[in-house]
Amino acid sequence: YQHFLCCSVGFSSVFSNLKKFACFALVFDVLNAVFFRTQGGVHVHSDRLTVTSPVLMWVKQHGSVYWEEGASLILKNLSSDLPLHQLLKACFSVSDSPVWMDSSTSSQCCSLEEAVGGAQGLADITGSRAYEVRAARRKSQCSDRNRISLVSSFAASLFLGAYAPIDYSDGSGMNLLQIRDKIWSVSCLGACAPGLEKKLGCAVPSSSILGPISPYYVQRYGFNPDCKVVAFTGDNPASLAGMRLGEGDIAISLGTSDTLFLWIKEPTPALEGHILCNPIDSQTYMALLCFKNGSLMREKIRDDFASGSWDEFSKALTSTAIGNYGNLGFYFYVLEITPEAVGIHRFNRDNIKVPKFPKEVEIRALIEGQFMAKRIHAEKLGYKIGEILATGGASHNKDILQVLSDVFNAPVYTIDTANSACLGCAYRAIHGKAGQVPKPLVRPGENLSDQEFCLDQSPTFPF
């Protein structure tokens, strides 16, 4: 199974019993340095609000894609003699694809909320209040387009050789889908652009088989013509599958964004966080708290204060005491989602704002501040924190995980892959093929003796 992110594309294969066979990842920044000059897979524009990725990078390689008239015919008749980025270069009406870090649509968010009676009204319908990261864009971008895809359904379209439908789970992150009825909201669509329902197409269950693979892949790469394409979904829903979460489990993904999520039975939307349709069980839901300033923020501080070295970063982190001597920092390089804030704000032990910290204090202030925010916002929403399952790139750093364990006062378990989203996509392929939830998709607490899950860190001073 192939998995697309802003910064990389991953490949995973598993056996039918869900044991991994192989996992690989290709980083866009390395591959596309000459062509697209991205950092972290994106372009941050001069206003530091607009964040996009070149659409053709996805081809060579959470955003939205706008198709030109006639693109469906090109998809249907791809020549196996040419690479995709050459075949599809005329297919897109917007060359820079809006991605999840984009924060340039505040006015559209306000209009959308007003159309349905306010922020809580929108949350009750779609699972969350309006966030700039959602795919409901400017009317000028939507009105004249033939078809609009999310990156997930766009990637599926490449394999299908036709426009692929948006799945329930990723679609419920657009502020357009009624999460209980699993249909597009007429009120929300009307607030965005005319004719939008036709451009989006009907949403489908996340386990749907969309059809056979395109002849392009059979002829060019030797795929079996009987290979089926299962609906693609977003990275957070895929991570839920990859970590095999069940009801009551809590996980923290330490990736490009940092995300706290869990499996729930009934949606209780609030003004903070998100409720999405569950990609494994369409009758249940998943809750999300997303923090935009994740690994890119950690990497920036690493580069500025640790000479770009994770070893030096960890040495500085462990040289300071728990609590950082009362020093605290809030680090928002781009406009944050939870809370809505931007900039770097440092406070000393007397709660006085200061312009800078020593290197060691700076690094611990970043990590402790990030995890304190996650715990505070999670508990405000009533989340009960017990054991934590950590995944994502930073989950390989034991010193960062120790801070996570200390801040949450909870044991932290890890899964033996940093890319749980990619692994979850492979699980979902089995799910779609089987027509039912593959086993074992069970609670981490029931898997702790399994070699895939291990107790990584415990609180230094449990209380």
Amino acid 375: pLDDT: 92
Angle at 184 between CA 428 and CA 420, to 5 degrees: 25
Rounded Cα gap, residues 184 and 312, in angstroms:
49
Distance of CA 333 to the CA centre of its chain: 18
The secondary element (H helix, E strand) that includes residue 159 is helix 151-160
CB 222 within 8 A of CB 216: no
Q: Which amino acid is at 91?
A: C
CB 324 within 8 A of CB 407: no
Amino acid 5: pLDDT: 47
Amino acid 324: pLDDT: 98
Amino acid 130: pLDDT: 92
Q: Which residue has the tokens 């690493």?
A: 302
> Domain 241-463 belongs to what topology?
Nucleotidyltransferase; domain 5 (3.30.420)
Rounded Cα gap, residues 164 and 76, in angstroms:
12
Tens of pLDDT along 56-102? 554 433 567 889 989 999 999 999 999 998 999 889 877 666 665 56
Rounded Cα gap, residues 406 and 368, in angstroms:
9
Give 202's contacts (C-beta < 8 A, 6+ positions apart).
Answer: 165
CB 294 within 8 A of CB 258: yes
2-233 shares its CATH topology with 241-463? yes
2-233: CATH class: alpha beta
Amino acid 341: pLDDT: 92
Domain map (residue ranges) of the chain:
2-233, 241-463
Rounded Cα gap, residues 268 and 280, in angstroms:
19
Compute the CA torsion angle 369, 375, 380, 384 (nearest 10 deg).
180
Amino acid 40: pLDDT: 59
Amino acid 210: pLDDT: 97
Low-confidence ranges of the chain (pLDDT < 50): 2-6, 30-31, 33-34, 58-61, 135-136, 438-451
Amino acid 56: pLDDT: 53
Tens of pLDDT along 310-362? 999 999 999 999 999 999 999 999 889 888 899 999 999 999 999 999 999 99
Amino acid 200: pLDDT: 96
